[in-house]
């Protein structure tokens, strides 16, 4: 564990807000409809359900709902927010950012700097890093940042990627002396121009080179871990899998987190063998003994964070923070003071590995995330209803409302979008 300089402010995630649309599709139903073996999805991808955004929800309403929930539950006053960053790869306009709609819906102050961030799934983490640096630099002048990650993952109907869609948003209050997760200043970054996943300007659905994207993800994990290690200047000789109480990975589908963890373990095992550590010399990474140790490590460090991702699907920018919300809500009390590692990946690509630790009292800061309540109130769609939602959503959205959130798309006129609020969340 690294010492913080007494002069460096303690910065991190103060509160987490979560929002899911009110509809879901069971993936075994979709598998049967597409004539795909159910086990390929449930076991091969590790996914059970995906959240489906109705045509009257977009990244503005998803993000504003997550943000309104975090301000209400965290008792954060609007005047305290000096920076609003909205990360998304599902923008509603090429020029006008999602963030300015969210700014208005939340009634944030006019001196709050706001903009939208894009780099596929990575930009939520870009927002967290920018917000943390803004606070560390002193420019925040005691104010807090609100980082919103909001997305709707859409691929073509009947493509193999169809099973890895999803929708949702997470809002993070980033502050000095955080009440939830203090972030360590050293991180590891990797960037490289690859065409693994993209969405040309005229398309609503993403294109993907599926198998290649898995390789790009794992190469980026290697690169980010190498950079992280060099940033520690020799202080990081204890393997992450021994140091961390939990490891969270960007989760386009849960089996990807399994593959990532296996890669991390293999790296650390091989390094330990090269150093001549006794435990790593007993068997190689190809052996059944290693496979057994890997499963135990995965079950202890990774699986506890994946429960919500299994039921929502890929939420792109929000995906890593969906895992954090789920873990924090369930385990913050027992993880106080323990290190947690987080790996963020955005296709294209940019990736970052960073770490933090839950602070004293963090369980109280997670009491109102409300993941179970959001899941319970979802209505399950038939495959036909889901297809109709997807077709309407692909037209740019249809004004409408349900009783899930506090705001909705009220009208689209002259290519302008208008939103309305109902009651604030409690």
Residue 119 among the catalytic residues:
no
Coil/strand/helix, residue 240: helix
Catalytic (active site) residue 112: no
Nearest Cα to Cα of residue 70 among 100, 102, 113, 47: 102
Residue 208 or 323 with smaller CB distance to ligand HMG: 208
Question: What is the rounded CA–CA span in Å between residue 77 and residue 69?
Answer: 12
CB atoms within 10 A of CB 113: 14
> Contacting ligand HMG (CB under 6 A), which of 80, 89, 339, 368?
89
What are the residues facing 248 on neighbouring strands?
342
- 87, 121, 171, 240: residue in contact with ligand HMG (rule CB under 6 A): 121
Helical residues (DSSP H) of 154-253, grouped into ranges: 210-231, 240-243
241 belongs to the binding site for ligand HMG (CB under 6 A) = no
What's the rounded Cα separation, in Å, for the pair 72 and 426? 6
Residue from 175, 213, 312, 366 in contact with ligand HMG (CB under 6 A): 213
Minimum separation from the CB atom of position 273 to ligand HMG (A): 25
Pick from 297, 314, 315, 344 the residue near ligand HMG by CB under 6 A. 314
**CA torsion, points 425, 321, 245, 285, in degrees to nearest 10?**
150
Complex with ligand HMG: residue 104 or 198, whichever CB lies closer: 198
> What is the H or E stretch that residue 136 is in?
helix 123-137
Query: Is 261 in the active site?
Result: no
Of 343, 344, 324, give the one whose Cα is nearest residue 335.
324
User: Binder to ligand HMG among 1, 4, 43, 284 (CB under 6 A)?
Assistant: 43
Q: Does residue 32 touch ligand HMG according to CB under 6 A?
A: no
Q: Is 249 in the site for ligand HMG (CB under 6 A)?
A: no
Question: Which is the catalytic residue, given 57, 112, 116, 121?
Answer: 121
Cα–Cα dist 298/238, whole Å: 18
**Dist CA 305 CA 225 (whole Å):** 20
Residue selected from 72, 157, 191, 214 as contacting ligand HMG according to rule CB under 6 A: 214
Using the rule CB under 6 A, is 347 a contact of ligand HMG?
Answer: yes
Catalytic residues: 89, 121, 250
Binding site for ligand HMG (CB under 6 A): 37, 39-40, 43-45, 89, 120-121, 160-161, 163-164, 196-197, 208, 210-211, 213-214, 217, 250, 252-253, 255-256, 314, 316, 345-347
């Amino acid at each position: 564990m690294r010492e913080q300089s007494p002069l460096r402010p303690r910065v991190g995630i103060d509160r987490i807000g979560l929002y899911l649309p009110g509809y879901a599709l069971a993936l075994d139903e979709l598998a049967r409809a597409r004539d795909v073996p159910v086990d390929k999805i449930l076991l091969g991808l590790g996914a059970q359900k995906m959240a489906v955004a109705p045509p009257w929800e977009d990244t503005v309403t998803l993000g504003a709902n997550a943000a309104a929930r975090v301000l209400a539950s965290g008792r954060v006053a609007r005047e305290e927010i000096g920076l609003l960053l909205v990360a998304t790869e599902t923008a509603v306009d090429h020029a006008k950012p999602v963030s300015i709609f969210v700014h208005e819906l939340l009634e944030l102050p006019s001196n709050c700097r706001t903009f939208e961030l894009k780099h596929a799934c990575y930009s939520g983490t870009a927002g967290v890093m920018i917000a943390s640096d803004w606070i560390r630099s002193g420019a925040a002048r005691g104010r807090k940042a609100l980082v919103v990650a909001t997305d709707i993952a859409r691929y073509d109907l009947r493509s193999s990627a169809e099973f890895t869609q999803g929708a949702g948003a997470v809002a993070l209050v980033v502050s000095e002396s955080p009440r939830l997760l203090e972030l360590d200043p050293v991180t590891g970054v990797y960037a490289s121009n690859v065409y693994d996943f993209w969405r040309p300007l005229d398309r609503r659905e993403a294109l993907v080179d599926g198998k290649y994207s898995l390789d790009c993800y794992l190469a980026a994990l290697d690169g980010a871990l190498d950079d992280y290690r060099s940033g520690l200047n020799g202080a990081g000789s204890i393997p992450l899998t021994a140091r961390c109480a939990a490891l969270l990975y960007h989760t386009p589908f849960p089996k990807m987190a399994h593959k990532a963890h296996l890669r991390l373990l293999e790296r650390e095992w091989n390094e330990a063998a090269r150093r001549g550590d006794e435990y790593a010399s007993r068997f190689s990474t190809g052996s059944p003994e290693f496979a057994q140790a890997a499963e135990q490590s995965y079950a202890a460090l990774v699986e506890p964070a994946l429960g919500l991702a299994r039921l929502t699907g890929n939420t792109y920018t929000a995906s890593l923070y969906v895992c954090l919300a789920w873990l924090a809500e369930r385990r913050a009390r027992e993880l106080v003071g323990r290190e947690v590692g987080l790996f963020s990946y955005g296709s294209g690509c940019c990736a970052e590995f960073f770490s933090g630790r839950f602070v004293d009292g963090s369980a109280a800061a997670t009491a109102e995330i409300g993941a179970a309540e959001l899941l319970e109130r979802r209505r399950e769609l038939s495959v036909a209803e889901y297809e109709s939602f997807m077709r309407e959503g692909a037209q740019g959205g249809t004004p409408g409302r349900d009783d899930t959130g506090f705001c909705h798309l009220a009208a689209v006129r002259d290519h302008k979008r208008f939103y309305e609020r109902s009651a604030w969340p409690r």
